[in-house]
Structure 1
Amino acid sequence: MSDKVWTVLVLCTGNSARSILGEALLGRMGEGRILAFSAGSKPKGVPHPGALRYLAANGYDLSAFRSKSWDEFASAASSPIDIAITVCGNAAGEACPIFTGAPVRTHW
């Protein structure tokens, strides 16, 4: 078994609900094996209150979650991304920036 920690970026248009929930679930379920992030092409600026209620009810520390642009992960200074997952049809159809690390891309 590999000791590699995979870096996963979950993408959605608004980065307010689905992608943040994906980041949370992958981060918790893959703890020690997956470093999860989320972002959006047109971020809303704040996570959806319903998503935050769900995370709080399930014991997540909410301070780690914020709505952010996928451009944060396209700069040379950002961590390399191993896997980029789109979780909405709009984001899947958009032209994504080039992410450091030349990630595998998939749609869920």
Structure 2
Amino acid sequence: MSESSTPSVLFVCVHNAGRSQMGAAFLAHLGQGRVEVRSAGSAPAETVNPAVVDESAATN
């Protein structure tokens, strides 16, 4: 395993369509490229929840 100076965060929820996507979007925005951010789900949905897409657009 190699060491990295960049922190890495994984947000996980069941469908990866709401909470994990929103958490990843907030951290990516606040981290300003200083954090590697990923999201995942144990049973991923086909699409991201439309309410999350609307909210994440408001933070940019």
TM bucket (normalised to shorter chain) is 0.7 to 0.9
Which is helix-richer, 1 or 2? 2
Identify which range, 3-12 or 44-53, moves more after superposition: 3-12
1:23 lines up with 2:24 in the alignment: yes
One-letter code aligned to 1:7: S
Superposition pairs for residues 75-94 of structure 1, below 5 Å? Answer: none
CA positional deviation for 1:31: 2.0
- What does residue 45 of structure 2 align with? 44
CA positional deviation for 1:33: 2.1
Relative contact order, higher structure (CA 8 A, sep 6+): 2
Gaps of 5+ in 1: 60-108
**Alpha-carbon deviations, 1:60-87, whole Å to 9, x = none?**
xxxxxxxxxxxxxxxxxxxxxxxxxxxx
Say whether the 8 Å CA contact 1:4–1:33 is kept in structure 2: no
- What does residue 34 of structure 2 align with? 33
CA RMSD of aligned residues (A): 1.5
For the residues of structure 2 that align with 1:8 and 1:31, how far apart are their CA atoms?
14
CA positional deviation for 1:28: 1.2
- What does residue 4 of structure 1 align with? 5
Q: How many residues align?
A: 57
Matched residue SS, 1:11: strand
- Structure number with greater Rg is 1
CA positional deviation for 1:24: 0.6
Taking only the aligned residue pairs, the percentage that are identical comes to: 35
TM-score by length of 1: 0.49
TM-score by length of 2: 0.84
For the residues of structure 2 that align with 1:31 and 1:8, how far apart are their CA atoms?
14
